[in-house]
Amino acid sequence: MITIGSYVIVQKVESEMCKLAKVTKNCEVVVDNLKIKLNGAIGKPYGLFEVQNGNLLVTASATEMGVSLSDLRNEGSESRKRPVERDDEEDAPPTKVSGQLVTSKEIEDLKHAGASVKEVVSTLASGNVKFDERTTHSQDKYLSKKTKVHNDKVYILKPTIRLINTALYQKGHERICSLRMDVFANMLYLANVVPGCRVLVYEEVQGLVIAALIQRLEGKGELYVVYNNFDINSLFAVHAMGFKPEVLNVLRPIRWDVLNKAMLGIGPEKPIQVTADEPMEYEGDPLKEPSFDQQYIWANERIVNSSIMDSLLFVGDGVNATDFLQNTLKFVRTSGSIVVHSNIESDALALVSYLESETTVEVNVQKLMSRRMQAIQDRSHPLLTEYMPSGMLISATKVGS
C-alpha cells in the first residue's frame, strides 16, 4: 500500500520518463507535461492509475491504452477532406488552411466527457486533412506521438534499484557519475557480494551503491561506508528503498577523518572500554550519524586491525581513486574483490598501474561509452543532441598481503 512518507516511482504509460517522489499530502509531480497530485494514491495499492485534471481518481484498466493503424482501418474510411468554400471576394488574399479540423477545445471537451485515449487519437486522425497522404511509417509515428501526448494513465510503482537508477540518471546523470544501469549491474557482479560478506565502500552516487549492497546482504554481514558528508543526499536511494530496520543493521558509516585517525593510531581523548565479547552491531538508528566512539571502534577493530574485507568498491570522481586504494587496499583479505568506477581517464589509468604493481591479479579494464540510436524504416541514426556518458570500470583480485 502507498503510505504518506514513502517513496514511489511515477511513470507515464507509453513513456520512458519516470520520476522518484516522496508521497505527501500536497505533493505534485510533472511527468511529460502531465501534472499529477499524489495525495489521491494514499492508501491504495501500487499499480495503474488514471489522471483527470491532475487528480488520481480511480485505478484504470490496462486495456485500450491507445490506437494503432489497424484499428483506424477497421473502423472504416471516413472522409478527411476539408471542404473548400469559395470567397465572395475573388480578389481577397488566400487564407491559411489548417491541417487539423479538430480544435483544442473540442479535444478538451472530449476528455472532460470521459473519452478514452483511443477515441481522442482516432478523432485527431480523422480530423487531419493530410493523414491519408502520409506513408505507413509516418501514420504510425503520428498515432504514437498523439497517444503519448494525450495519454492520461500513469504507473505508480514501488521503488527498486533499477527504477531508482533510471530516475536519477534521467534527472541528471552527472549527479550519479553517469552510472548507467548496465554498468551498475556489472559492478555488483564483479564485487561478488553475498549475504555474510564484509564490504568497504566509498561512493558519490546518492546512495545507489549502498542501497544495492544492503539489499544483497539481506541483513547478514557488515557494510562499512566511508563518507565525507552524512546527509539525506548521500543516502537518498537508501531512504527511497524503505528498508526494514533488521536489513539496515548491516550499515556502518565511518567518517574519513575517523578512519585516518584509526590508521595513524590516534585514539579518542577518553579511552573506550570494549570487551572481546561485546557485539559490534550498532543499536541506534542506522540512518543517523553514529558517535565518534562508535565509528572509531568499527574503524580500529574491524578494518585497520583485522583486514577482513571481502570486497572494496569505489564509485566517484571527487576523490582520487589511487589515493583511496593506497590507504585501503591492505584492509582487503586475500582473494578479495576490488571494483572501481571512474569517469576521469587519467585517474583510472594511474589506478591500473598501481594495481599491477601491487599484489593483485586479473586486473581488468573496461572503457564505457553509451549512445542512443533512433531506429526508423530501413535506417537508423544517433541522437545528436544527447549527452554520451563514458567512463572506466576497473576490477581486480587481491592475492597477497
Instruction: Look at residue 333 and tell me whether its pLDDT is greater than 80.
Output: yes
**Domain limits at 118?**
1-82+99-158
Domain count, the chain: 2
Q: What is the DSSP letter of 371?
A: -
Q: Is residue 94 part of a domain?
A: no
Q: Is residue 292 part of a domain?
A: yes
Mean pLDDT, range 291-314, rounded to an integer: 92
* pLDDT tier for residue 54 given thresholds of 50, 70 and 90: confident
* pLDDT tier for residue 362 given thresholds of 50, 70 and 90: very high
What is the residue-wise DSSP string for 241-268?
HT--HHHHTTEEEEEHHHHHHHHHT---
Instruction: Kindly report the CATH number assigned to the domain that includes residue 114.
Output: 3.10.330.20
Mean pLDDT, range 157-183, rounded to an integer: 92
Q: Is the dihedral of CA 168, 171, 173, 177 positive or negative?
A: negative
Q: Give me the torsion for CA of 360, 362, 368, 374, rounded to 10°.
A: -160
d(CA 368, CA 370): 7
Question: Where is the domain boundary, 118, 140, 158?
Answer: 158
Q: What is the DSSP letter of 231?
A: S
Q: Is residue 340 part of a domain?
A: yes
What does pTM read for this prediction? 0.78
Whether residues 147 and 198 share a domain: the answer is no
pLDDT for position 46: 92
Whether residues 47 and 116 share a domain: the answer is yes
- Residue of higher predicted confidence among 40 and 252: 252
Yes or no: say if 30 and 10 are a contact pair by the CB < 8 Å rule: no
Whether residues 143 and 221 share a domain: the answer is no
Question: Where is the domain boundary, 137, 158, 179?
Answer: 158
- Residue of higher predicted confidence among 59 and 343: 343
Mean pLDDT, range 242-251, rounded to an integer: 93
Q: What is the DSSP letter of 329?
A: G
d(CA 190, CA 192): 5
Whether residues 340 and 192 share a domain: the answer is yes
Instruction: Look at residue 203 and tell me whether its pLDDT is greater than 80.
Output: yes
Q: Percent of the chain at pLDDT above 70? A: 80
Q: Which three cell numbers stand for residue 25?
A: 499530502
Whether residues 105 and 215 share a domain: the answer is no
- Parallel/antiparallel/unpaired status of strands 34-37 and 18-22: unpaired
pLDDT 10s digits, 60-95? 555 555 556 566 555 554 444 444 444 444 444 444
Mean pLDDT, range 360-373, rounded to an integer: 86
Whether residues 270 and 377 share a domain: the answer is yes
pLDDT for position 279: 43
Q: Is residue 92 part of a domain?
A: no
Q: Is residue 152 part of a domain?
A: yes
* pLDDT tier for residue 106 given thresholds of 50, 70 and 90: confident
263: exposed, middle or buried (Cβ count in 10 Å: 0-12, 13-18, 19+): middle
Yes or no: say if 17 and 31 are a contact pair by the CB < 8 Å rule: yes
Whether residues 171 and 148 share a domain: the answer is no
Q: Over the range 31-41, which residues count as b (16 or more CB within 10 Å of their CB) and which as e?
A: bbebebbbebb
Whether residues 132 and 260 share a domain: the answer is no
Q: Is residue 91 part of a domain?
A: no
Yes or no: say if 121 and 73 are a contact pair by the CB < 8 Å rule: no
pLDDT for position 7: 95
pLDDT 10s digits, 336-345? 999 999 999 8
Whether residues 302 and 394 share a domain: the answer is yes
- Residue of higher predicted confidence among 86 and 307: 307
- Parallel/antiparallel/unpaired status of strands 18-22 and 7-12: antiparallel
Yes or no: say if 146 and 122 are a contact pair by the CB < 8 Å rule: no
Whether residues 252 and 134 share a domain: the answer is no
Q: Is the dihedral of CA 168, 174, 175, 181 positive or negative?
A: positive
For residue 258, which amino acid is it? V
Report the range out of 17-31, 130-144, 192-206 with the highest average pLDDT. 192-206
pLDDT for position 277: 41
Q: Is residue 25 part of a domain?
A: yes
Q: Is residue 19 part of a domain?
A: yes
Taking all residues of the chain, what is their mean pLDDT, rounded to a whole number?
82
Question: Where is the domain boundary, 122, 140, 158?
Answer: 158
Instruction: Kindly report the CATH number assigned to the domain that includes residue 187.
Output: 3.40.50.150
The angle formed by the CA atoms of residues 137, 143 and 144, to the nearest 5 degrees, is 85
Whether residues 313 and 167 share a domain: the answer is yes
* pLDDT tier for residue 122 given thresholds of 50, 70 and 90: confident
pLDDT for position 84: 43
Whether residues 153 and 195 share a domain: the answer is no
